Amino acid sequence: MPAAQADDLAPDVLVKNVTREVVELISKDKEIRSGNRAKLMEVIQAKVLPHFNFTGMTALAMGQSWRKATPEQRKRLTGEFKTLLVRTYASALAAYSDQKFDYRPLRARPTDTDVIVNVRVLQPGAQPVPIDYSMEKTASGWKVYDVMVGGVSLVANYRTEFNNTVRESGIDGLIKSMQAKNHSLEAAAPEKPAEEK
């Protein structure tokens, strides 16, 4: 769905549409199913990323340290964090094997600008896994600023790691450590993801 259209959609409808579209794309595409990472990245890039606010996610994960970061540092932090998150997301998506989704009704007032959209992944012999998207209304439509999987907030989970690294080696140290992490993953990956320039 083009970003322009997404502007007017309710957050739960947006999540539902994007999830359905992406799942359909990846389950039909033989190349992605057989492990073509670059192609999977293309799909994510086009369909999913426009609905995420990575700067907001980085700011929340950084907490107080965000205030002390220069605009240049913020840009680099966001860039590295985004690369890390997107690759993790791609891994999770690559593991998808026909699980069913259960879209929960949105509990929010029409005037709300900050909502949580609940989706559940159903699987046999196990409790359904809830995925909760924290979303905020912006001028360019609803944007995700945190994802909770099974009650674990991605942003909150990075906060301790970020704080520890900043305390030990400063903001530049954190940028470096994320860079190193991304490079090592890139080296390990068989195919160069489209995300990298």
Which residues of this protein are in contact with other proteins, per CB under 8 A?
A: 53, 55-56, 58-60, 63-67, 71, 74-75, 84, 87-88, 91-92, 95, 122, 124-128, 130, 136, 138, 145-146, 148, 150-153, 155-161, 163-165, 167, 177-178, 181, 185
DSSP SS3 for 45: helix
Tell me how far, at minimum, the Cβ of 32 lies from other proteins, in Å: 16
Tell me how far, at minimum, the Cβ of 25 lies from other proteins, in Å: 20
171: its two tokens: 């903001």
- Those residues with Cβ within 8 angstroms of residue 159's Cβ, 6 or more apart along the chain or in another chain: 60, 61, 62, 63
Structural contact between residues 11 and 117, judged by C-beta atoms closer than 8 angstroms: yes
C-alpha to C-alpha distance for 107 and 85, rounded to whole angstroms: 27
Tell me how far, at minimum, the Cβ of 16 lies from other proteins, in Å: 20
Tell me how far, at minimum, the Cβ of 39 lies from other proteins, in Å: 19
* Closest to other proteins by CB, 24 or 173: 173
Residue 77 host element (H or E): helix 71-94
Q: Which of 74, 65, 82, 75 is nearest to 144 (CA)?
A: 82
C-alpha to C-alpha distance for 183 and 179, rounded to whole angstroms: 6
* Closest to other proteins by CB, 17 or 48: 48
* Closest to other proteins by CB, 4 or 188: 188
Structural contact between residues 104 and 90, judged by C-beta atoms closer than 8 angstroms: no
* Closest to other proteins by CB, 17 or 74: 74
Tell me how far, at minimum, the Cβ of 181 lies from other proteins, in Å: 6
* Closest to other proteins by CB, 17 or 72: 72
* Closest to other proteins by CB, 5 or 113: 113
Tell me how far, at minimum, the Cβ of 119 lies from other proteins, in Å: 13
**Other CB atoms within 10 A of residue 157 CB:** 12
71: its two tokens: 């605009």
